[in-house]
Every structure is written in C-alpha cells, then in structure tokens.
Copies of this chain bind each other. A is one copy, B any other.
Amino acid sequence: MATIADVAQHAGVSRSTVSHALSGKRPISLATRERINEAIIALKFTPNAGAKALATSKSSIMGLVISITPEEFAPATMQYVLVVSETARSLGYDVLMVTEVDGAEGITRVTDSNLVDGVLVLDVKRHDDRAVSILGARQPGVLMGYAEGNESLDSVDLDFAAAGRLLVRHLFDYGHREVIFITFPEELFAQSVGFAWRFRDAAVDTAAELGVSLNIVYGGTNPVRRYQGVEEALDRHPTATALLVHNEGVLVDLPMLLAQRRLSVPRDLSVVSVFSEQFGSMFSLPYTAIEASPKPVATRAVQLLAARIADRERPVVSELLEPVLIDRGSSRAI
C-alpha cells in the first residue's frame, strides 16, 4: 500500500507538504497541490488510520454503548444505531459498537486504549455506572437519555416527563376520568431506566392533579405474560374509557388483542401512546401518539459529542426535546 512517503516522492515534494495538502492546514501552491493530487490518485493513496491515530491521538471513532437487556425491545434500538452511524459518518467519524454486558467496563476498555474519541450511551439509567465510567475517562461522552447526578455530562433525550403530562392532559381534556396506563416491566423501573420512570412519574402526578384515576399496569417480560397482563387490566377495569400505552411490545399486540375483544378504537376505548413514526408504520399502529423521535435524539447526540470532542471547555448541555403529539384519531371526547 502506498504511504505518504510514496506520494511525496511521486509528486517530488516532502512528506510534510503532502500531509499539509491533505489536512489543508497550511497554504499549498496550486502547482504542487495538483501534483500531489495526481500522485494520490495514481498511487491510490489512503492514509493509514492507525498511524494517524497515533500521531494525533484521535481515532475519528465514536463508541456506541448498547446494553441489550432481555426486557428491552430490540426493534426500537436499531433505529438509533442506524441514525447514529449515519450522522457520525457525515461528521467524519466511524462508529464502534460497545455491547459488552458490563457497559462500564466496555467504556473503559475502548477509552483507555484510545480506540475511540468519545462515547455515546443508549438507554441511560437513573444512576448509571456508565456515566461514572465516562467521567473517569480521558474522552468525553454523551448520554442519549437522562442520568441523575451527572449534570457534568452532555445529554439529550425526548422530554418523557412532558410526554407523560401531555398525554394525560390530552385524555383529561377529552373527558376521560378512568384510564389504564400500561408501562414497561417492573424490571426496567428497578434499573431506573430513564424513559420509563420519567414518563410514569409525570403521568401519575398529572393524573393526581387533574383527578384522573390512573391504573398502572406493568408489562410482562415475555409475550404471553405481556398479553395476559393487558387482558387482565381490561377485565379489572371495565369502566375505563382510555388506554395510555408506553410499551412497544404491548403496542404490537394491541390491535389484535382489542379486535379479539371486539373493542373498537376510539368508539369503545380511546388509545394514546408513545412510539416513533417508523415503528408505527412497521407495525401499522393506528394510534395517536407522542413521536418517540429516535432520529432527532440520535442526530443531536452525535452532534453534541462531536462538538464536545472539538471543545472540551464548552458549556455542558442537557437537552430535552419537546414532545410532539401526532393525532391519528384513536382518542375521542366522551
């Protein structure tokens, strides 16, 4: 493979001139620039990533930390992964997957070895040891989610608290006073996964304020129990007029389940939820919902990390994207 020395020789200049032509870090005369470009093409030169990383202490790689727990729903995650990868590429970065079960250890591994310039964390928990791990690393990190007590880390997420408030208020405005709230398995709350507890707590508080009776149902961790859980909830609360669903797994089954019970939406039951447009269209979900916004969240997270890598001194930001309600007509006034 051609090295920068080969290019320099071919172009009749020094290696440093080639390097500067490549980086644009100092002015190069038109004539030499052209000869260098010719040489690069003739020799099919591509800079060696390892050498560059060694010389600059920058790998141009972002680590993406994913901790897949069995409770979580893989399809939703893929969207984040893809958008992270594309956005990173557009900013000149590659993306390395960090999927070890112990995410904190994985972070230490890729940062200590200088493999990555920074780290993105998905599915952040309330007290997340991965945040701690980042704080101990030389490289910066950005949370896609929200961790308490880590205000020193950049983060971006959908404002799940606002989402909870907005949906409960939406149902309240339509006159609903008894609502079944289906959320994630209790395991996710035990781990304090941000999107779960922030939504739940806000929904519960708002319901209490407005005088809405909100019956919480924690989703089952397997399909069968998930399905049964919803059925039981419907049996137990026959007078409930609306379903508030924050659980992708339940959503996939819901149209079928309601059809089998001969429940028409929104005639017999209003349904509102949280999911991404892409997810909804994948499973033909006909429900009014807060847009889960994987794309803006992932895009923004990558931008924040790139900005942080470029400037370690810039002020820390913690962005919460405002929830947007997409009305698909699955709720009605009663």
Contact = CB atoms under 8 A, between A and B. Distances in A.
A110 B94 contact: yes
Given A49-B113, A75-B74, A114-B48, A96 B95 contact: yes
A284 B54 contact: no
A253 interface: yes
Given A50-B50, A256-B255, A1 B138 contact: yes
Interface in A37-81: 44, 46-54, 57, 59, 61, 64, 66, 68, 73-75, 77-79, 81
A259 B138 CA distance: 56
B284 A253 contact: yes
Chain A contact patch, size range: 35 or more
Contact of A49 (B73, B115, B255, B259): B115
B46 A112 contact: yes
A208 interface: no
Contacts of A95: 96-97
A89 interface: yes
A144 to B, nearest CB: 16
Interface string A306-323: 000000000000000000
A115 B97 CA distance: 14
Give the dominant DSSP class at A's interface. helix
A172 interface: no
A47 B53 CA distance: 13
A52 B54 CA distance: 9
A49 B44 contact: no
A227 B286 CA distance: 14
A265 to B, nearest CB: 13
Interface in A223-238: 223-224, 227
B96 A96 contact: yes
With a 10 A CB-CB cut-off, give which of A49, A77, A110 has the most chain B CB atoms.
A49
A112 B74 contact: no
Contacts of A281: 222-223
A82 B110 contact: no
A259 B254 CA distance: 13
A252 B112 contact: no
A85 B99 contact: yes
A31 interface: no
A86 interface: yes
Interface in A191-224: 222-224
B85 A74 contact: no
16 contacts: A46-B109, A46-B113, A49-B115, A50-B54, A50-B57, A51-B54, A74-B75, A74-B79, A77-B78, A82-B99, A97-B97, A223-B283, A224-B284, A249-B282, A252-B252, A259-B259
